[in-house]
């Protein structure tokens, strides 16, 4: 600022000197804020210009000093500045740079990775040479911490928190996933196993070719993103001597892998004069022929991260009705087709069945879900399944 300084009158032997105004520029004293003081202290402690380069212009009013590949950020709650750098800094900026760091970048206890905590301990970014920098926060982060962080069963995160189907969120980890939905909270899970657990005859068919009881079997089709290059089929054994209210407990693993969502097709058959294995191959061929469009689309789904479930769900829903319709038109198999159903098992259903699904028992058939009744020629059958942690 500038101002006027008044020179006092001086009387000397009857003479009087006139007062004179002299304009002198007076520079204001810089106001050093708490933020600036903390940032300057951290800057100096870490090597100053040799480490960071010159302090950015306008530093007096900034709470973040951005040096490109690294930043110093003021945390008002702790009245301290913290250092964010490298890939963690890049990730932090890509997420908007709104999280306030609670720590400097720090080595993990196992010596493999690095991390910064943010936002009063509600968010973190973890980095390793193999996983890169991944963001984890909220209830998913809380659950991961309860499991022991990176030294727990899941290991390091391998994705940021992402949207998944049914309004959920998830992080993938080296050895599994943590899923979250508003009505379930955070659920940790590795792979899931879908198993066929048995076949039940509510009523046998009204007439059989050569015996007084039925000989049913099932053909299963599994369509799961990235599980295989194409849908695949399996079949149960042929059950002999099946009468009304007959249970046939069994076990056949149909799928083992991530809970990215899948479609299960079930064809119930009554064995007469046909070849069950040839019929299985025929179903496989029909499914493959009707799956070309879906197969083409599914190849563009990314391999890494739980976001696959959100992309895959609509594609599976679009493909499977065509497959189900094709199976329903099967003729001349030599065996009678009792029924064909398609069951959509999105991520949320797989996860909740595996971790919280109640087990029912129907005459020794332990199960968590059923196919629904397949009926034809007086026969009414149902296939049963379970979804469990791998």
Q: Could you write out the DSSP letters of every residue in 66-83?
A: E-SSEEEEEETTTTEEEE
Q: Supply the range of the domain harboring residue 375.
A: 192-389
What pLDDT, on a 0 to 100 scale, did the predictor assign at position 263? 82
22 domain-assigned: no
Cβ–Cβ < 8 Å for 255, 222: yes
For residues 196-230, one letter each, b for 16 or more C-beta atoms within 10 angstroms of the residue's C-beta and e for the rest, the string is bbbbbbebbbeebeeeebbbbbbbbbbbbbebeee
Whether 121 and 165 map to the same domain: the answer is yes
Mean pLDDT across the stretch 122-126?
98
CA distance 104 to 70: 11
63 domain-assigned: yes
Per-residue confidence at 153, pLDDT binned at 50, 70, 90? very high
Q: Which two tokens stand for residue 340?
A: 């064909």
Whether 151 and 224 map to the same domain: the answer is no
What pLDDT, on a 0 to 100 scale, did the predictor assign at position 205? 80
8 domain-assigned: no
pLDDT digit string, tens, across residues 11-62: 545 544 544 555 555 555 556 799 999 999 999 999 999 999 999 988 888 9
5 domain-assigned: no
Mean pLDDT across the stretch 268-293?
79
DSSP structure string for 341-358: EEEEE-HHHHHHHHHHPP
pLDDT digit string, tens, across residues 227-271: 555 678 999 999 998 999 999 999 999 999 989 888 888 989 888
Of 171, 189, 207, which marks where a domain is finished? Answer: 189
- Name the nearest CA neighbour of 176 among 196, 200, 159: 159
Percent of the chain with pLDDT over 70: 77
- Name the nearest CA neighbour of 258 among 303, 300, 216, 221: 303
Residue with tokens 């890939």: 87
What pLDDT, on a 0 to 100 scale, did the predictor assign at position 121? 95
345 domain-assigned: yes
CA distance 126 to 138: 14
What pLDDT, on a 0 to 100 scale, did the predictor assign at position 326? 62
Evaluate the CA torsion angle 302, 308, 310, 314 in order and state its sign: positive
25 domain-assigned: no
The SS3 of residue 328 is helix
pLDDT digit string, tens, across residues 63-114: 999 999 999 999 999 999 999 999 999 999 999 999 999 999 999 999 999 9
pLDDT digit string, tens, across residues 338-378: 888 888 888 999 999 999 999 999 999 999 999 999 988 88
124 domain-assigned: yes
Q: For the chain, how many structural domains are there in total? A: 2
Helix/strand/coil percent split, the chain, to 5: 25, 40, 40
19 domain-assigned: no
Q: What angle do CA 61, 65, 69 make, to 5 degrees?
A: 160
How far are the Cα atoms of 204, 249, 263, 320 from residue 314, in angstroms, in the given order?
A: 37, 33, 11, 10
The SS3 of residue 291 is coil
Whether 175 and 196 map to the same domain: the answer is no
Of 158, 189, 220, which marks where a domain is finished? Answer: 189
What pLDDT, on a 0 to 100 scale, did the predictor assign at position 3? 46
Whether 234 and 329 map to the same domain: the answer is yes
Whether 199 and 331 map to the same domain: the answer is yes
Whether 238 and 297 map to the same domain: the answer is yes
Of 152, 173, 189, which marks where a domain is finished? Answer: 189
Whether 102 and 204 map to the same domain: the answer is no
What pLDDT, on a 0 to 100 scale, did the predictor assign at position 5? 43
CA distance 223 to 297: 13
CA distance 268 to 262: 20
């Amino acid at each position: 600022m500038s101002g006027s300084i008044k020179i006092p009158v001086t009387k000397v032997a009857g003479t009087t000197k006139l007062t004179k105004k002299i304009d002198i520029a007076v520079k204001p004293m810089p106001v050093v804020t708490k933020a600036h003081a903390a940032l300057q202290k951290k800057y100096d402690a870490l090597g100053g210009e040799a480490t960071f380069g010159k302090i950015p212009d306008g530093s007096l009013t900034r709470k973040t000093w951005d040096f490109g590949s690294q930043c110093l950020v003021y945390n008002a709650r702790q009245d301290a500045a913290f250092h964010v750098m490298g890939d963690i800094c890049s990730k932090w900026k890509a997420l908007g740079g709104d999280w306030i760091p609670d720590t400097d970048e720090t080595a993990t206890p196992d010596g493999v990775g690095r991390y910064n905590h943010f936002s009063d301990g509600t968010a973190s970014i973890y980095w390793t040479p193999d996983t890169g920098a991944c963001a984890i926060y909220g209830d998913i982060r809380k659950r991961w911490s309860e499991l022991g962080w990176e030294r727990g069963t899941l290991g390091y995160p391998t994705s940021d928190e992402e949207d998944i189907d049914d309004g959920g969120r998830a992080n993938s980890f080296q050895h599994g996933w943590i899923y979250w939905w508003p009505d379930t909270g955070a659920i940790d899970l590795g792979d899931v196993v879908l198993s066929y657990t048995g076949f039940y005859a509510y009523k046998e068919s009204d007439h059989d070719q050569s015996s007084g009881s039925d000989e049913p079997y099932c053909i299963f089709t599994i369509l799961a993103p990235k599980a295989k290059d194409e849908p695949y089929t399996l079949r149960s054994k042929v059950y002999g001597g099946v009468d009304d209210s007959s249970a046939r407990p069994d076990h056949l693993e149909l799928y083992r892998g991530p809970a990215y969502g899948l479609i299960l097709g079930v064809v119930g058959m009554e064995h007469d004069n046909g070849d069950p294995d040839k019929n299985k191959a025929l179903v496989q061929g029909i499914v493959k022929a009707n799956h070309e469009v879906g197969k083409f689309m599914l190849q563009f789904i990314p391999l890494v991260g739980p976001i696959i479930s959100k992309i895959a769900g609509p594609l599976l829903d679009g493909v499977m009705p065509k497959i189900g319709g094709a199976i329903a038109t099967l003729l001349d198999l030599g065996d009678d087709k009792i029924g064909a159903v398609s069951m959509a098992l999105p991520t949320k259903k797989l996860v909740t069945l595996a971790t919280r699904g109640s087990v029912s028992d129907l005459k020794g058939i332990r199960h968590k879900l059923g196919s629904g009744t397949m009926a034809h020629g007086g026969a009414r059958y149902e296939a049963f399944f379970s979804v469990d942690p791998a």
